[in-house]
Structure formats: C-alpha cells, structure tokens
Structure 1
Amino acid sequence: MVRKGSITVFTALILSLVVSLLCSGIESVRMAAARTQILNGLDIGLYSLFGQYDKSLLKDYDLFAVDASGSGEELDLAGIYDNLESYMKPILAQNSQKLSIENGGIAGYRLLTDEEGEVFYQQIVRYMKETLGSRGVQLLLQKMRQRQKKTEEAEKAGSEAENGNALAVYDSEMSEAAEKSQAALEEKRAQEQQSQSEEFTDGGSSEEAGFGGTELVPVTVQNPIPVIQRIRWMSLLDLVLPPDRSRSDKKIQKNELVSGRELEQGLPMSDEVKRDSSLISQVLYQQYLMDKLGNYRSPGKGGLEYQIEYILGGYGSDEENLKSIARKLLLVREGVNAVCLAADSVRRAQAEALAIAIASGFLIPPAAGIIEGALILCWAFGESILDVRTLFAGGKVPLVKDSSQWQLSLENLPALLEIADGTGANEEEGLEYEDYLQVFLLAAKKDRKVWRGMDMLELSMRSADGWEGFRLDTCLTALEASVDVRANKRKSFTVTRQYCYT
C-alpha cells in the first residue's frame, strides 16, 4: 500500500532556512580552518626559517642568528622571503582548501647590530643569566663591586701621585742647588786666584797658604732618583713584559670593523627594544667577553690577539692596546704602593734618612722634604714595575701589600733594571692579570664595550675558513612577515606573524 505524503509551504520555508544555515556554518568552518591553516603555515615557515641559525656562531659564541647575506656580503631579504614561502607552501597544500599565496612580504626585521648593538648586548645578557643562574649572578656582581672600588681608589691615588709633580719640584730644587754650588765654586776659585796673585807678588806659594786647589764638591751619596728618572723614559713594554715571551705585532683597519663602517639597518617592528643599562647586565656582558675573547695571557684568534685590550684601548694594533693596559696597570699599582709606603713607618724612616743625606750632601737641607717625596714616588714606581711584570708573567699580586710582601728595598732601587730581569714575586693570593682586565672593563662605558665587542667577535668569525666575508650586520635575529592568501578561490586572508630569538 503506497502512502502519499505532502509538505506545506511553511515547512518548505523552514527547511530552506535550516539548509541555508547549515551551509553557512559549514562554509564558516571551512574558512576558519583555512585561516588556521594559513596561520600554521606562516608559523611553521618562520620556525623553519629561524631553525637555519648560524651553527658556527652558536657553537663558538652562543649567539642565535640567521645569516641573511645569502653567502655574500650584503643583506638578501628577497632570498629570506623566498625561503619563508618555500616552507609555507607544503603546509598550505594540505587538505582540500585550495590555498594559494597572492602577495607577501617582510613587514619588519631586526639585525644583530641594530639599536647601536643593543640587540647583540641583550642576547648575550640573557644567555649569561641562563648559564649562571640568579645566585651566580649575585656572587659575580658582589666580587666585581669590591674589586672595582679598591682599584678605582688605587688608580686615583696613582694619578694624584703622578700629577703632584714631585719629580718636577725635585728637579727644580736640584737645579737651583747646582747653580748655587757652581756660583759658590766659581767665587771660591776667584778668591783663590786673587790670593795666589797676591802671594806670588809677595814671593809666597799657594800651597803654603793652605788652599791647595780645594773645590766645593757635594758629599758622595747614592741617589737613586736620577736612575729611576732615566728608567721612566724607557719603553714600558720592554720593562714589564717577560723577555722569553713574544708579543703580537698584528694590526687592523678600523674603518672595516662594525664600529667603523656604515651598517645595514633593520625595519622597525611592533615590539621595540628597550635599553638595559643595569650594572648586573654589564657585569654579565663583560664576563661573556672574558670567556669568549682573547687577551695577552690567552691570545685570541682573528685580526687581533689581544682582544680584551682592544675593547679597553681601542687602538688598531696589539702593541698599542697592550701598552695602554700596561700604563693603566702601572698607575694602579703605583697608587697602591705609594699609599703602602706612606703607611709603613719603617720604610718611611728609611726614605726620610736618605732624603736628609742627599739634601745635606748637596748643601740644601731645607729641600729634604721635597727629596723625600720624590724618593717615595720613585720607590713606588720601582715596586710597581715588578708587580706589573709579575701580572704579565701570569702571577698574582695582592691589591694591597703588607710589609712581608714588599719586593724592592731602597738600597736596591738603583739596580731596578737588574732586578726586573726576573719575573717578580708570585703570591698565592691576590689578583691576576685577567682580574684587573675585568675591573677595567666594568669602569669602561657601555657603548664602547658593545661596539668594540662586536668588532672582535666579527673578526674572530672571519678567521675561519669560508667565513672571510662574515658580517654581523647581516645576521637576522627577528622577523615580521605579512602574507595574503586566497582560500578556495573565494576569499583572501591577510595574516601577519613575527618570530624572534629570545
């Protein structure tokens, strides 16, 4: 039996609305799925792109960056975007969405040297924080603060001692004494000649008168000051560097470095780089430099061997940078040793006694105080030469010495050159050469440390085979991309995503 069915107009209208709603829902889901697929495609493309980080840069210097030069020496953004698209297309081809890229481009990017090196600086600081941990960071900061305070006080004392013109005043007094002595001598000779002339007229002899040609000659006293004055004019590196160790004569062209040439610049991104000038960050950054770059005691590779010395000195040759550090070390040690001498009653009494003897010998007793000041400065200088020599030889020197740690006696001060042929006394406790470098780095301006640090890192990378054209300003660390994708030949989606190494 066949039953006939019927449908009302109202039911037909309801069904049409339901079917239309279902179709709209299905289409909405398809578009949402398409958009999600596009976003996933762009994310995976960015992840894959930044997964091509420079492995040598990461291995040697723990820095994440993509070489965006395309094996050349210039930024190749077109190649970067093409690489990004090549990773997106397989993702967009999945399922049956029929997704196709219409347009796309790079909306912003950041290079390792951007923001005056702040990108480079902050990536290093983050790495060091993760490596040391909060406890290690605090211990490192506390140690560096203590060393910095003591060293700055010593350097200030050394500068005051040098600027006090003790040797200049001494030279002036001695010159004046010599002139008076010469005048007295000439006057005495004139009197003798007149007496001889008178006695000759009377038929007598000068010897019978008791003069016998006697001259006014200063009493002989071993004065070490002229010896030290001559030594101060000698080459400082010849005085303080171990004779059995060669020194680098390498030079570089500063206009070819990161700090000296015109750099590639990134495009601003939505998130700005905020400056970090905290003391903790600077301590972490300089610890990184000490770990990764070379110095006199542990030469680095690349254009210069004394890389930490370059960061502090900024000269284009290893010799000039080493000389600047030697001067700084000598100034610090001279300040410390002068203070130690002033506080040592025994050695101060020795200097005072010798000063009185010298003043009496040159017939200028009032100048004993001036001569004593010059002796103290010369004695501190001689001791400091031995200290700096010890540091360059790899030994330790206490920041502040006691009487038992003093090396140079006042009697041996004129023989400083012979004594300096050795390496000096090496104490079990004290600061090493690298410790002083860290203190000097902490006192240096942040921008200098950042720019010169990038200089040395780039040069070190260029020393490897195949990396001769490496440039830090073509190293990509962040990118923001925007892509227009058509879905099912109906609707276009514009998506923007960014990725950066954090």
Structure 2
Amino acid sequence: MRNQGQITVFLSLILISLLVLFLAAIGVVEFHMDRARVSEAAKGASEHIKADYQEQIFEEYHVLLLDKTYAGRGEGALEDRMLRYLDYTLSSYGFQIQDVSLTGMKSVMDSHCALLREQIRDYMTLYLQVKAVKDIGEWMQLDDRSAETMAQEIATGKLEESEKSGDWQGEDPRKVLQREMKHGLLDLVLPENSGVSGVKIEMSELPSHTGQKDSDSRQDRADGEDDCSVDTSFEDIDRLEADMQKMTRSGSSESGEAGNGLSEMTDAGKELLYGLTCFDYFTRTDGKGHPLQCEVEYLIAGRDNDYDNLQAVVNRIVLHRMPVNMAVLLTDPEKMAEIDSIALTLSLAPGITYGAAKYLLVACLSYAETLVEIRSLLAGHKIPLVKTGAEWTVDFDSIGKLTELDRMDYSGADGVDYRTFLFLFLAEKGDVIYERMCDVMQMVVREKQPEFLMRDCICAYTADLDIRKHGTNFSIAIEASYQGQR
C-alpha cells in the first residue's frame, strides 16, 4: 500500500509538471500569437495611413507624399486614424491601445529634397533615354567651347588696327537694333497672338523661400535678368568680352559650386527630364489652369511671374546661341567683307579701334540672328545646332525688321528645339530646381486646398505603438516609407 501511495504521488507530480509545462507552452504560444497579431495590425495601420497619400500630387507629378496635417485636420489626425484602426482590429482580442505616435518623420524638403529626387529617379527609370541625355550634354559642351573661344578671340583681336580706309555710308546697324529693342525683348520673339502673364504670385510661403526675410532677398536668390542678359548697345568691347566669359560660367549652380557635371548626367538626367515631363513650359501647356503657365521657366529663373521667367530663359538662350552664331559669322568671307567695310568707317571715330568695331558688329548681327532663332523655338520649331552661312537669316538691311522675317523650321538630324535648351538650363541650376518643383506642386494643390504646405509632407516615418493585454505590454516601432514603391 505504501508503494502504491508513492507511485500515486510520483505520477501526480509528473502530471502536475506536464500540466505546468503545457500551460506555460500555451502561454508562450499565446504571447507570440498576440505579438504577431499586434505586429500585423501595426503594419496594417501603417499601410492604412500610407494609403492617404496626397492624391493630386501623385496624379500630376507621380510622387508619393503624406500630408502629416491630414489635409489641415492637424498633426494628431494621423495618429488618431492609426489608433482607431488598431482599436477596431485588436479590441475584440482583448487588447487596449495605450499610445500611438509618429516619430522620425522625413520631410520631402530634407537634404535638398533627397527623397523627392529618389522617387523621381525611380519613376523616370521606366523610360529614360540615356542616349538623348548624352547628346544634350555634348551640345552643351559645344556651346561652352564656342563662348570660351570667342572671349579669347575678342581679347586678342579688339586692339587690331587697319590701314585701310572705309567708304561705307549708312546708319550704324547698332542704332537700328536699339530702336528694335525698344519694343521689348519678348515682343520681338513671341509668336503672333500669344503672350505671357505678368501677374505676380505670392512667394512668401513657398518652400524655396521659407526663411527669407523679405522680397528683396528672395529676388536676389532668383536668377535675375542682370545675371544672364547681354548688353544690346554693342558699344563697349570690354562688356562684350565679359558677356562671353559669363557664358563660360553659366554652368555653376546658384550656390556658387559646379552644377551637375556632364560626365555624371545619366542619373541627373532622370531628374531633369522629369521636370520637362511633369511641368508645363511655354511651348507645351496642358490647359489645367495652373497658377503659372511657364513652370519649367520658373524652375530655372525663380521669378514671381511668367513674363519675367520667360524673359530670363530667353536671355539664357541668347547667352548660349550668340557665341555659336558669332563663330559662324567670322568664318563667312562674304558677310565679313561687309562687316569690315562698316568697321573701317566706324573706326575713324575717336576711341574705337578697327578690331573692336569688327567684333561689336559681329556681335550685333549675331544677336539679331539669335532673336530670329528664338522666335522659331517659341513657335515650336527646331533650329540647326550649328548653322552654315547659307542658313543665315539676318543681314544689315533686315536688322530693323526682325519680326517680319520668316521663322526657321529646321528638319535636320542635328536640330534642337526649345525643350533642349530648357534641359540645358535645368542642368546648370543645381539643387535649387528641386525646391522650386516643390514650390510649383504647392501652388497647384493650394488652388483646391488653400492651407496646404509642402513642408508638411513626409516621405517616411516611424510609428511607435504601446499596446496592452491583461497586464502584458507590447511596444512596437514600425518604419514606413514610400521609397522604392514602384
């Protein structure tokens, strides 16, 4: 009997131990099931608010952003949506939601819009034509070389004298051009029955201007006409030389550092082509009634109205094309014979050498030719990358009738259009264009949502969750991001 009692006790202890182990196993399994349930619910809650991306920006610009104010409802609105989602999902299992907070928010404006640029590259990878980017880079280098060569040639040739006497009679072509310029630069190059608005937009709340103290400092930051315009009096040879040197420096960004290097244009090209794909410019508008008609021109110039932005871009085209045209003109014997005759006569006046007069006249005629080219570009036509003498349009007899000359419509393989020049200028501007992209996005969204601010938009965040069940706390941090979603 005693042995039987010991066996009973022994078996009871074993059963109790097994029961304890079983209950412990159930507890462990239940804990892990609860943790897995909480983890999945947390991921679902995170995806739930990620689905509330800014719809208009995605539809028009293919960028995923989350407005942390939830369309003006306040910064706590997103946490509240997550809390309600978690409560709906977990409350039936006995969970209590203690706290939900979003931390580690990464703004679209952080690090010069680094996350925005990453999304742009992902989007543009789908159809980027690398060869086109490479070719445009080669065109840009050609323009730079032309300007540098011309600046050197002017520096060495401006003091040239001639013993020949001039017998030319007539009005100084530079005076004729100055009369034409009184109409205004854009009036000479815009197509008939077209125009651009001079209505100013409010810029104080735009992302690229946040922190600027006044309008003057904002305008200093913008690319003003004085930075890229050419002296059209063509009376000062030193000023002409400086204008040519200005062209060789135009590849620097607004921070004073070198802009996107052409040898590294493949990655940068994705972002630049995005600008031409998703934003309007003078020769391509979508008719959606955006605050700015010339959006790409704004990315380049940063002015507060379409008129000034387009004029700044036109001045940049002049700065790129005039040296190329001057180089063509200097190699044309027939045209140079006429220029020499006028230069010899002008050099009879005190204070001007034959060499200075020659280069000033070459620049004057090349500038007029460039304006005709720009008229063609703004009409949607192409011009030759480097023209021949036979393709030259303007002479000294027609320099006062620029708007009456026929536009070019070049169909050769080396033709370039207005879009090509916009690409070049975007490449020159550096990081500032991405902040200005955010400016345009904000202006467009604010047409329907007046309180919207791009600085409130985030691309990534961390959701910190504190959830309790029967005295057990579950603390989870879920990282969420729109990056790499394509």
Task: Give the TM bin, normalised by the shorter chain.
Answer: 0.7 to 0.9
Report the Cα distance in structure 2 between the residues aligned to 1:25 and 1:375, rounded to whole angstroms: 95
Report the Cα distance in structure 2 between the residues aligned to 1:141 and 1:378, rounded to whole angstroms: 32
- Alignment correspondent of 2:7: 7
- Alignment correspondent of 2:233: none
Q: What is the TM-score normalised by the length of structure 1?
A: 0.76
C-alpha displacement at 1:224, in angstroms? 3.9
- Alignment correspondent of 1:57: 57
- List runs of 5+ in structure 1 lacking aligned partners: 174-217, 264-276
Task: Answer yes or no: is the 8 Å Cα contact 2:68–2:458 preserved in 1.
Answer: yes
Counterparts in 2 of 1:139-150, with a 5 A limit? 139-150=131-142
C-alpha displacement at 1:320, in angstroms? 1.5
Task: Answer yes or no: is the 8 Å Cα contact 1:391–1:432 preserved in 2.
Answer: yes
Counterparts in 2 of 1:325-336, with a 5 A limit? 325-336=313-324
Which of 446, 462, 469 is the matching residue for 1:480?
Answer: 462
Report the Cα distance in structure 2 between the residues aligned to 1:158 and 1:254, rounded to whole angstroms: 39
C-alpha displacement at 1:30, in angstroms? 0.6
C-alpha displacement at 1:352, in angstroms? 2.7
Which of 314, 328, 337 is the matching residue for 1:340?
Answer: 328
Report the Cα distance in structure 2 between the residues aligned to 1:320 and 1:164, rounded to whole angstroms: 36
- Alignment correspondent of 1:469: 451
Task: Return 223-232 or 421-430, whichever deviates more.
Answer: 223-232
- Alignment correspondent of 1:42: 42
Name the amino acid aligned to 2:15: L
Name the amino acid aligned to 2:404: D
The secondary structure found in structure 1 opposite 2:399 is helix
The secondary structure found in structure 2 opposite 1:63 is coil
C-alpha displacement at 1:284, in angstroms? 1.1
C-alpha displacement at 1:92, in angstroms? 1.4
C-alpha displacement at 1:344, in angstroms? 2.3
- Alignment correspondent of 1:247: 196
Q: What is the TM-score normalised by the length of structure 2?
A: 0.78
Report the Cα distance in structure 2 between the residues aligned to 1:220 and 1:26, rounded to whole angstroms: 108
Structure number with larger C-alpha Rg: 1
The secondary structure found in structure 2 opposite 1:255 is coil
C-alpha displacement at 1:27, in angstroms? 0.7
C-alpha displacement at 1:38, in angstroms? 0.6
- Alignment correspondent of 1:498: 479
Counterparts in 2 of 1:200-211, with a 5 A limit? none
Task: Answer yes or no: is the 8 Å Cα contact 1:148–1:443 preserved in 2.
Answer: no
- Alignment correspondent of 1:287: 273
Distance 1:262 1:382, change over 3 A: closer
Task: Answer yes or no: is the 8 Å Cα contact 1:128–1:284 preserved in 2.
Answer: yes
Q: What's the CA shift string for 1:127-177, capped at 9, x where partnerless?
A: 112x22xxx3532431232222123334545767899996xx89xx9xxxx
Report the Cα distance in structure 1 between the residues aligned to 2:170 and 2:456, rounded to whole angstroms: 65
Name the amino acid aligned to 2:122: R
Counterparts in 2 of 1:96-115, with a 5 A limit? 97-115=93-111
Task: Return 110-119 or 392-401, whichever deviates more.
Answer: 110-119
- Alignment correspondent of 1:273: none
Report the Cα distance in structure 2 between the residues aligned to 1:163 and 1:286, rounded to whole angstroms: 35
Distance 1:306 1:423, change over 3 A: farther
Q: What's the CA shift string for 1:444-463, capped at 9, x where partnerless?
A: 112x1111111112112223
Report the Cα distance in structure 2 between the residues aligned to 1:79 and 1:46, rounded to whole angstroms: 13
Name the amino acid aligned to 1:416: I
Counterparts in 2 of 1:49-448, with a 5 A limit? 49-72=49-72, 76-94=74-92, 97-129=93-125, 131-132=126-127, 136-156=128-148, 221-228=169-176, 230-231=178-179, 234=182, 235-261=184-210, 279-299=265-285, 301-356=289-344, 358=345, 367-409=353-395, 413-429=396-412, 430-446=415-431, 448=432
Task: Answer yes or no: is the 8 Å Cα contact 1:338–1:380 preserved in 2.
Answer: yes
C-alpha displacement at 1:223, in angstroms? 4.8
Task: Answer yes or no: is the 8 Å Cα contact 2:99–2:467 preserved in 1.
Answer: yes
Task: Answer yes or no: is the 8 Å Cα contact 2:137–2:265 preserved in 1.
Answer: no
Percent pairwise identity = 21
Task: Answer yes or no: is the 8 Å Cα contact 1:227–1:414 preserved in 2.
Answer: no
Task: Answer yes or no: is the 8 Å Cα contact 2:383–2:410 preserved in 1.
Answer: yes
Task: Answer yes or no: is the 8 Å Cα contact 1:111–1:475 preserved in 2.
Answer: yes
Task: Answer yes or no: is the 8 Å Cα contact 2:329–2:389 preserved in 1.
Answer: no
- Paired residues in the alignment total 420
Distance 1:12 1:219, change over 3 A: closer
C-alpha displacement at 1:239, in angstroms? 2.1
C-alpha displacement at 1:494, in angstroms? 1.1
Name the amino acid aligned to 1:475: C
Report the Cα distance in structure 2 between the residues aligned to 1:325 and 1:340, rounded to whole angstroms: 23
Task: Answer yes or no: is the 8 Å Cα contact 1:41–1:89 preserved in 2.
Answer: no
Name the amino acid aligned to 1:424: R
Q: What's the CA shift string for 1:384-440, capped at 9, x where partnerless?
A: 22112211222211121112211123xxx1431224323422211311111111111
Q: What's the CA shift string for 1:62-113, capped at 9, x where partnerless?
A: 11122332332x7x2311111011111232135xx42222233223222322
Name the amino acid aligned to 2:460: A
Report the Cα distance in structure 1 between the residues aligned to 2:94 and 2:435, rounded to whole angstroms: 49
Task: Answer yes or no: is the 8 Å Cα contact 2:294–2:310 preserved in 1.
Answer: yes
Task: Answer yes or no: is the 8 Å Cα contact 1:158–1:332 preserved in 2.
Answer: no
Name the amino acid aligned to 1:143: D
- List runs of 5+ in structure 2 lacking aligned partners: 213-259
Name the amino acid aligned to 2:89: I
- Alignment correspondent of 1:199: none
Name the amino acid aligned to 2:411: E
Distance 1:282 1:143, change over 3 A: same
Task: Answer yes or no: is the 8 Å Cα contact 1:396–1:432 preserved in 2.
Answer: yes
Task: Answer yes or no: is the 8 Å Cα contact 1:385–1:420 preserved in 2.
Answer: no
Report the Cα distance in structure 2 between the residues aligned to 1:160 and 1:317, rounded to whole angstroms: 37
Task: Return 418-427 or 228-237, whichever deviates more.
Answer: 228-237
C-alpha displacement at 1:247, in angstroms? 2.2
Report the Cα distance in structure 2 between the residues aligned to 1:305 and 1:165, rounded to whole angstroms: 44
C-alpha displacement at 1:498, in angstroms? 1.4
Name the amino acid aligned to 2:400: L
RMSD (Å), alpha carbons:
3.0
Task: Answer yes or no: is the 8 Å Cα contact 2:68–2:75 preserved in 1.
Answer: yes
Task: Answer yes or no: is the 8 Å Cα contact 2:154–2:359 preserved in 1.
Answer: no
